[in-house]
Structure formats: C-alpha cells, structure tokens
Amino acid sequence: MQELKNQILCGDCVEVLRRAQAPFADLVFADPPFNIGYKYDKYHDEKAHTQYLAWTRAWIGECVRLLKPQGSIYIAIGDEYAAHIKLILEDELRLTMRNWIVWHYTFGQQTKNKFARSHTHILYFVKDAKSFVFNDDVVRVISDRQKKYCDRRANPDGKMPDDVWNEYPRVCGTFLERTGFPCQMPESLLARIIRASSNEGDWVLDPFCGSGTTAAVAHKLKRTYTTIDLSEAYAEAARERIARSEGLPVEGNGSDWPEHADAELKWLYGENKIPVAQLCENRPLLSLFTKKLNGRLQKKQPYTIKEVSTRLNRLGSQLSPLDKTSSVRREASSLEE
C-alpha cells in the first residue's frame, strides 16, 4: 500500500483501487462527476442512466472495500443521484448514515422556469455505527445562546454546526485558493470534514482529484492522502498545488500572520457568523474565538485576543460579507490583555 501514500495518480479510480488489497483509508471523500453534462477534459459527463449507476456502484464498492472498519465516507452528489447513492451505501453495502448534509451555496446557476439550484448533497456514512472518529471539539461553532442571548446555560465550547452548511461560498474568481478548475470545492469545507472525521497521521482517500482540494487540505492538516484523476493535466496541476503548500510554517516565518493562519482565521470567522465589530467588542466571544483559532493552529505561542482582534480589523473586506453594514471598528489597542 506504500505506493499509494501521498500520491496524486493519473488513471481510472476503479482500476487503480482494484490493485490495492487491504483497507488503508481512514476517511474517503468523493466528489464524482454528477452526470449532468459538465465539461471535463477527459471524462464525458453524460452517460446513460444505467451505465452511470453501474459505474457508481463500482467506484463506491472499491472505496468501501478499502475503507478501514472504523472509517468514514462522505460523498458529494447532485439531486439526480443522491437517493440512489444513499440506497447503495445503506441497503447494498450496509453502512450507517450519520448525516445527510446539504451544502447550500449562493450564486447557483440561473434558471428561467424553475427555482435556481443552490445546493449539493454530502452524504456522510460510517462502516461501524458504534466505532468511528468524530472530533466534535474542533468543529464546534459559537452558539446563538453565546453570541445573541449571553445565556449562561450555553455550552462554553459552542454548539455543533447544523447539517445545512451555508458558510462556505463556492470558490469564485477572487479567491486566493482559486486554481481555474471549473468545479473546485472550497478548502474550508474539506477542512471541516477532514478535521471532524480523521486525526493527524490518518489516511484520506479521494477517488476524484479534480483540482486536488482534498489532497491539499489533507496535506495541510498533516494527514496522508491518495487521490486519482483520469486527466493527467488535472493530476499535474494538483501536484503543483500541493508543492506550493509544502513546508507551510507551523509557527510564523518572520511574519506574525503566515498565510495558513490567515486562511484559518477567515474560515473560522465565516463559520461563526459574528460581524467583526460585535466579535471585537465582546470580550468573552473574542476570547472563545481566539481559543478556537489557537486550537486549530496548534501554535506553541498562542495568539492573544488583542492580536486576533487587530488582525480581524486589518483583514476587513477580505473576510466574508457579514460586515457590509458594520461601520463600527473597535481599536484593538484599547482591549485589555
């Protein structure tokens, strides 16, 4: 299995995976073509229904075979085949569904004679209903009880995110992470899944590499990865993407806010949905936010709430659009340490 470790392979995932013998994956994330006529360079995304279903059974079967007994699998899929895939996993392969997640994004495709589609399904299953990795602590968000009602009964660690995810916009032209690949998943969304359902050192398999989002995030979060694409051009671009994130500093490299810390700060900010002004003015919220950020970054020397507040204010318009209406900016320097 060593030959698959940290590899971006070119080939048909079913054929490549068939060659592997023993289960190695702690987590599978798969975002296959949806059979909706999307334009890829090598794959033709308009198969006959029965052919697409047979192929779906084949790749899911291989992924499940190579998933370890305590492993988890997430499959992103459109409306057309979400129900079929649920039944394949549940009834045919006897896995247990944990969540039917709906990723709701803005800027769905415009339509004239029906409502515009603005979601993708993400089906989350485990092999063993009683034994699997789920790290709730790293994905919890600040609850309404904490941010709106200052309710003392609130869980101090925050609440689990809902199963409708609307905090991750589709990757658009202005995003730093944008590669040019047409249906690139946001790194922030993959980070939530990988953090929740695997630990450092675990092995993440993605049979449909595309731009390499899963591998890039797995690499940044210190997981092992294997991913495959039919297209050599996509695989090569993904290898370059990983190479660019090679040696990301864990501690700042001279700069107080290395790129990955900024990325993490933006993701956390988007997930918690508290405008900068409110966050920076409310010391308990800011300190909880800072604790979550430090937890994710695992810095030896954690950021102080003053540093986080200053950085949030500096990033300003680069943060998600929560703050469009906010005119209040609290000077971080006036915060007590």
CB of 82 to ligand SAM, least distance (A): 15
Site string for ligand SAM, 125-144 (x = CB under 6 A): --------------------
If the CB atoms of residues 165 and 303 are measured against ligand SAM, the closer one turns out to be: 165
Token couple for 179: 């590669």
Secondary structure of 98-138 as H, E, C letters:
EEEEEEECCCCCCCCCCCCCCEEEEEEEECCCCCCCCCHHH
CB of 216 to ligand SAM, least distance (A): 9
CB of 6 to ligand SAM, least distance (A): 18
Of 228, 268, 280, 312, the residue at the interface with ligand SAM (CB under 6 A) is 228
Of 120, 143, 211, 272, the residue at the interface with ligand SAM (CB under 6 A) is 211
User: Per rule CB under 6 A, is residue 74 in the interface with ligand SAM?
Assistant: no
User: Per rule CB under 6 A, is residue 231 in the interface with ligand SAM?
Assistant: yes
CB 103, CB 122: distance < 8 Å = yes
If the CB atoms of residues 148 and 178 are measured against ligand SAM, the closer one turns out to be: 178
Residues 150-189 that bind ligand SAM (CB under 6 A): 181, 183-185
| 3-state helix vs strand vs coil in the chain, percent to 5 | 40, 15, 45
Residues 30-49 that bind ligand SAM (CB under 6 A): 31-33, 40, 42-43
Helices (H), the chain: 13-18, 49-65, 79-87, 136-139, 144-147, 187-197, 213-220, 232-244, 259-272, 276-281, 283-297, 305-315
Other beta carbons within 10 Å of 2: 7
**φ/ψ (deg, to 5) at 286:** -65, -35
Considering only 28-36, 240-248, 260-268, 275-283, which stretch makes contact with ligand SAM by CB under 6 A?
28-36
Type of residue at 289: F
If the CB atoms of residues 54 and 129 are measured against ligand SAM, the closer one turns out to be: 54
CB 99, CB 163: distance < 8 Å = yes
- Per the DSSP assignment, residues forming a β-bridge with 229 are 10
Type of residue at 322: L
User: Per rule CB under 6 A, is residue 73 in the interface with ligand SAM?
Assistant: no
User: Per rule CB under 6 A, is residue 12 in the interface with ligand SAM?
Assistant: yes
Residues whose CB is less than 8 angstroms from the CB of residue 124 and which lie 6 or more positions away in sequence, other chains included: 72, 73, 74, 97, 98, 99, 100, 101, 197
At which residue do the structure tokens 């690139």 appear? 184
CB of 334 to ligand SAM, least distance (A): 42
Residue nearest to ligand SAM (CB): 210
Residues 233-262 that bind ligand SAM (CB under 6 A): 234
User: Per rule CB under 6 A, is residue 213 in the interface with ligand SAM?
Assistant: yes
- Tell me how many residues contact ligand SAM (CB under 6 A): 22
Helical packing angle, 79-87 and 49-65, nearest 10°: 50
Of 230, 248, 250, 263, the residue at the interface with ligand SAM (CB under 6 A) is 230
CB of 107 to ligand SAM, least distance (A): 16
User: Per rule CB under 6 A, is residue 290 in the interface with ligand SAM?
Assistant: no
**CA dihedral (288, 290, 291, 296) positive or negative:** positive
CB of 303 to ligand SAM, least distance (A): 29
Residues that bind ligand SAM (CB under 6 A): 12-13, 31-33, 40, 42-43, 181, 183-185, 207-208, 210-211, 213, 228-231, 234
